[in-house]
Amino acid sequence: MSVEKSGKQPMQTKNKILIAAVSAVVIVGVALGIYFGVHSSNKDSNNKDESKTNNSNLPTTTSSALPSPSPSANPIPPGQNGTMINGTLFPYYTLTGPAPAPVGVPGMVYTMCKTPGTFSISFDDGPSAYTHDLLDLLDKENLKVTFFVNGNNEGCIYDPTVQSVLKRAFNSGHQIASHTWSHPKLTSLTVDGITTEMTRLEQAFMDVLGVVPRYMRPPYGDGTFGNGNANDQKVQGTLKNLGYVITTWDIATTDADIDDNNNPHKLTDEALMKAEQFQYTSVINAAAKGTTHMALHHDTYERTVKLMAPWSINYVKGLGYKIVPVATCLGDEDPRTWYQKIGKPAATTPTTCTK
C-alpha cells in the first residue's frame, strides 16, 4: 500500500503543474484577443468617422424646376430601360443630375431648327393604324422624331389600341407634343376655347403617359402664318400663358392635301411621291447651304409611312443632316425639357372619348 502511495504523489504534482501552465497560456491568449479586438474595433470606428467626414465635403446636387432622377429610390423594372422620375419610368434615356433650363421660349413661334446640322422630321394627327409601321422604320434607322398628337381627331387617344401605339412611341424615346384635342382652327376659338383644347389633351397625356408637353403645333399653322391669321396675339398669347413653345415648319409634304384616298381622284404612287418630294427638294435647294429645316408629315396616311418617310430619311441623311426631334433641334437636348410636367400615369384610364 505504501509503495502505491509513494508512486502516485509525483504524478499528481506533475499534473497540477501542467494544468497551471495550460491555464496561463489560455489566459494570455484571451487577453491578447481582447486587446487586438478592441484595437481593431477602434480602428474601424475611426475609418468610418473619416469616411463620414470625407463624404460631408462632397458637393450636393442643387434643385431645379424640373425633376432630377432618383434611381436608388425608384428602381427600374426588370426588362426596361430609362430613368425613374417622380415614381414613374421616364423611358429610353439615362438621365443624371438636375435638368437644364429649357431653351425653347413659351409663346415664341419656331419654323426652323436652331442647332447647326440638324433637321427635324415630325408627324401630325396620329397615332393611327400606320404608326406601328412607322415606329418599326424609325427603330430600324435608330432615329428619334416628334409626334404632334391629337386627343380626338383621327382616333380617340383613350382607345386602348391608340394608347398602346402612343406608349410605344414615348417608350422608344420619341418626343410627344400637343396638336390640340380636336384639331380646330385656333383663331376661330375664344381664349377659353383654346385653353380647353389644350388642357383637355394635357389631362389625357397625364392619364396615359404621365407627362404634359411643352411643345405644340397649331393645326394648319393657324395663328402663326397665313392671310389674316399671321401672328395672332390671342392664339400666341394664350399658348404662352399655358407654357407652350409653338413650332410649325418650313417644309410641308402636303400629304394631307394631295393624298386623297377616294379612287376617282387618287394619285398614283409615282405621281404622289413626285409631288411630295418636290416640296422637300424645292425648299432645300432654294435655301443657303447649311440651313436647318423642320419638315411636316402625317402618320395618318399609309403612303406617307411606307413611301415618303423612308425617302425623306434617306434624302436628309444623304445631305449630311442629323435627324432629331423638334425640341432637340431647337437646343432642348435633355428630354426632361420637352415636358412641363412629369408624373405618374393614371392607374386606370377611360377607353372612349366623349364630345
Q: Which cell goes with 149?
A: 398628337
Backbone angles phi, psi at 80, to 5 degrees: -120, 160
The span from the first CA to the last CA of the chain, in angstroms, equals 121
Backbone angles phi, psi at 149, to 5 degrees: -105, 140
Burial 55-89 (b: 16+ CB within 10 A, else e): eeeeeeeeeeebbbbeeeebeeeeeeebbbbeebb
Which residue among the candidates 124, 222, 232, 259 is catalytic per the annotation? Answer: 124
Does residue 229 contact residue 223 with C-beta atoms inside 8 Å? yes
Closest to 128 (Cα-Cα) out of 103, 155, 149: 155
Clarify whether 124 is annotated catalytic: yes
Clarify whether 255 is annotated catalytic: no
How far apart, in whole angstroms, are the C-alpha atoms of residue 224 and residue 222?
Answer: 6
Residue 179 carries which side chain, given as an amino acid letter? Answer: H
Taken in order 104, 108, 113, 116, the sign of the CA dihedral is negative
Residue 130 is given by DSSP the state T
Distance from chain centroid for Cα 198 = 21
Which residue among the candidates 174, 293, 297, 298 is catalytic per the annotation? Answer: 298
Question: What are the residue numbers of the active site?
Answer: 124, 298
